[in-house]
Amino acid sequence: MAKMWDGRFVKETDASVDGFNSSIGFDRRLFRQDVRGSVAHVRMLAKVGVLPAADAAAIEAGLQAILADLESGALAFDPGAEDVHMFVEAELTRRIGEAGKRLHTGRSRNDQVALDLRLWLKDELGGIRAQLAELVAVLARMAREHLDTVMPGYTHLQRAQPITFAHHLGAYIAMLRRDHGRLGDCIARLDLSPLGSGALAGTVYPLDRAAVAQDLGLAGVTANSLDGVSDRDFAIEAAAALSIVMVHLSRFSEEIVLWSSQVFGFVELDDAYSTGSSIMPQKKNPDVAELARGKAGRVFGDLVALLTVMKGLPLAYNKDMQEDKEAVFDAVDTVKAVLVPFTGMLASLTVKREAMRRAAAGGFTNATDFADYLVGKGLPFRSAHEASGKAVKYCLAAGTSLEDLSLDEFRTFSPLVGPDVYEAISLARCVDGRSLPGGPAPAAVAAMLDETERWLAAL
């Protein structure tokens, strides 16, 4: 098949090379951005007098018609085209003739593809940010209902100190808000037009780069033509930010798996968000959470693929960079696909308040509070820690818990203990007492949720 670049060749490319070289199988997903970029380019070419206005108008109309036909399915991608850029340009020329051949004036596929990928990521990352905000809103609503739902907080997966379910959810709200911010930072940095970089060394035409950027809604233009075509930091950064999103969703998933197990029994998944077993009739499995946890690996893989493709490349463009697209698409597709059922799974979760409370009451989660109580009576913390530890040892041997000790028993660990100890080590007090900003006390969590709701409202 004739190539747009075959003027200097005497032989046809081998069929295996055509197939190997082709990217239209995946970069067809950039067609909207490709047309948008070409329309902005051609308008500018007319404005600066490089193209006659009539040609530019014919090109723009032709591109818009191609876009409409691709959207409707009236026009099919030609799998034989080398890539989406070649396909659109060839189709344009097929439709409008000579004028179509002027579209690529002052442009290279190198700056074109860099632009397309930036535009695509800007659109998609914006959508993921909206999904993250939706998940934060769901978590904030759930947390509001569980300000007083006491559960054990863990370190080393050992019961540590009592917290509330709202406070635990608040930790994920904080993580997801950082993710939202990170994707915003990524968008702010990729928001530049590389057009005008040409193949690598700019171009001799008097292009108005800023006008193109403005037309495309981008904040500015890239600073160096070599970097403009060979920079994929924005793709790596997006994959890195998406990887961190997946770290958070994966950790949350692990907790859902634990909590929904018979051992914890803290939550029950809605039937609509769980699955059964083909052999064991009693099973109700947390597949959504497990699959979300598993999908994290894909996204990390995409990040590592991008880093590895880029690490040894000399400036400027190299064909290796064609490999960036599938990794970027996969990372974006995966995060989007996880967030939908993940959000639904959480929104429909049944919380077993009593089981959480029982677990918080076991495991001596108030031992620190007993030590703090003794500190309040004047004992140095280190000595109080030891006294409380001895009380725990005693309870373990006796098969009882701190709050069930008699006052006489308590006094064997410290004569400072008075009848107010029971109130001081009650679960409600343990939680209420931790009222610093960021702590689990209902008022502190409510303040965090207020701030989160203001943040959501201002998005």
Interface positions with ligand ARG (CB under 6 A) = 23, 27, 83, 109-110, 113, 317, 319, 321-322
394, two tokens: 């005693």
Shortest Å distance, C-beta 329 to ligand ARG: 12
- Nearest CB to ligand ARG, comparing residues 83 and 91: 83
Q: Which residues have CB under 8 Å from 122's CB, separation 6+?
A: 187, 190, 191
Q: Please report where in the chains the tokens 């999103």 appear, as a residue.
A: 245
Reference 227, options 309, 315, 314; nearest CA is: 315
Shortest Å distance, C-beta 8 to ligand ARG: 14
- Nearest CB to ligand ARG, comparing residues 11 and 319: 319
**Where would I find the beta strands (DSSP E) of 113-168?**
150-155, 158-164
Shortest Å distance, C-beta 223 to ligand ARG: 21
Active-site option among 38, 85, 146, 156: 156
CA 118, chain centre distance (Å): 17
Residue 453 CA to residue 140 CA, distance in Å, equals 8
Strand-pair partners of 162 = 152
Residue type, 172: Y
- Nearest CB to ligand ARG, comparing residues 25 and 376: 25
Residue 401 CA to residue 415 CA, distance in Å, equals 19
Neighbours of 383 (CB within 10 A): 13
- Nearest CB to ligand ARG, comparing residues 33 and 110: 110
- Nearest CB to ligand ARG, comparing residues 107 and 352: 107
Shortest Å distance, C-beta 351 to ligand ARG: 48
Q: What share of the chain is helix, strand, coil (3-state, %, to 5)?
A: 65, 5, 30
**Where would I find the beta strands (DSSP E) of 269-347?**
none
Q: Which residues have CB under 8 Å from 286's CB, separation 6+?
A: 253, 256, 257, 260, 269, 274
Annotated active-site residue 277? The verdict is yes
Neighbours of 389 (CB within 10 A): 15
Residue 292 CA to residue 127 CA, distance in Å, equals 19
Annotated active-site residue 38? The verdict is no
Shortest Å distance, C-beta 183 to ligand ARG: 23
Shortest Å distance, C-beta 78 to ligand ARG: 14
154, two tokens: 């863990």
- Nearest CB to ligand ARG, comparing residues 227 and 409: 227
Which of helix, strand or coil describes residue 405? coil
Task: Yes or no: say if 184 and 156 are a contact pair by the CB < 8 Å rule.
Answer: no
Shortest Å distance, C-beta 91 to ligand ARG: 16
- Nearest CB to ligand ARG, comparing residues 317 and 370: 317
Sign of CA dihedral 41, 43, 49, 50: positive
Reference 362, options 322, 389, 392; nearest CA is: 392
Active-site option among 167, 225, 250, 277: 277
Which amino acids are annotated catalytic?
156, 277
